[in-house]
Amino acid sequence: MEHEKPGTQRPAGRVEWAVVPSVIGPLLLAATDRGLVSVVFHADERVRQRALERLAAALGGELVESASGRLAEPIRQLAAYFDGGLRSFDVKLDWTLVTGFHRQVLRELADGVPYGSVVGYGDLARRVGQPAAAQAVGAAMGSNPLPLVVPCHRVVGSDGGIGGFGGGLETKRRLLALEGVLPEPLF
């Protein structure tokens, strides 16, 4: 994955967004000229409206609905992921919505935890040089603006539990089953 250089914050300009279907429900995707900036789960009308308001406030750009242009490749790659044909995303990411420790943790997650594997909160904290920061890693997962592409569903508890997930535990179970970490649900 390509990463934006630190310190390159500027107004987003035009922000393209679209809602796309998936096996885990509708996803809202948004992209700036720097790359994919947001993925939102369960993007029904209410969720979509709140997400778009937050994006407008955070990015200051014009929001334009469009499934082509900047979002064509992320949409193609997500479809291939859900079909089982893609194990690693290769799209430009815009890290504008996350900073500091959270950005450091999410970059490590994106680059260092491959498809079909999991990592504990504490282990991820150690990887970024902050071994006592497991709870802060959990907070970083909760603030991840790019779930799926930056795979916070692959972060699990040290007790063997699957941990929390902003998209809901059933969504996390389905994603881990898709990647072969958990058995497929019976129904």
Q: Which residues are catalytically annotated?
A: 152
Whether the Cβ atoms of residue 155 and residue 141 lie closer than 8 Å to each other: yes
Handedness of CA 166, 162, 113, 127 (dihedral sign): positive
Phi, psi of 184 (to 5 degrees): -60, 140
How far apart are alpha carbons 70 and 33 in whole angstroms?
7
Beta bridge partners of 17: 30, 65
Phi, psi of 50 (to 5 degrees): -65, -40
How far apart are alpha carbons 39 and 31 in whole angstroms?
9
Helix (H) or strand (E) holding 19: strand 14-20
Using N-to-C axis directions, what is the helix angle for 100-112 and 134-142, rounded to 10°? 90
- Sequence-distant (6+) residues with CB within 8 A of 123 are 158
